Amino acid sequence: MADVQVDARGLNCPMPIVKTAQAVKAMASGQTVEVLATDPGSVKDFAAWSKTTGNDILEQTADSGVFRFVMKKK
């Protein structure tokens, strides 16, 4: 179970990333966040966000149109 949950289902770009960045800003280093999103752009967006910010993606799954990411704050 991740430390923080972000439910961004139904939100359009860039809100899944914005909500996640807001949550991560309030987290301590090493804590994890689990994000659920339905925006089809989110797979590439979270990859780019992780690469730029250094917050690693630990898990990534897709199930019936819902993308799930677990990331760790740098």
Partner 1 sequence: MEEQPVNFVVFSGTEDKLQALAVMTAGAAALGKQVNIFLQYWGLEAFSKERIDADLGLAPEAGAAGKARVEAAAKAGQAAWAETLRQAKELGEVDIQACSLSMDVLGLEESDLDPLVDGVEGVTAFYLNAGQGQIVFI
Interacting residues with partner 1 (CB under 8 A): 10-15, 17-18, 20-22, 25, 48-49, 52-53
From 7, 10, 12, 13, active-site residue: 13
60 belongs to the catalytic site:
no
Single-letter amino acid, residue 26: A
Q: How many CA atoms lie within 13 A of 71 on its CB side?
A: 29
Report, in Å, the least distance between residue 51 CB and partner 1. 10
Q: Shortest CA distance to 23 belongs to which of 33, 14, 15, 13?
A: 33
What's the sign of the alpha-carbon dihedral 15, 19, 25, 27?
negative
CB of 56 to partner 1, least distance (A): 16
The residues annotated as belonging to the active site are 13
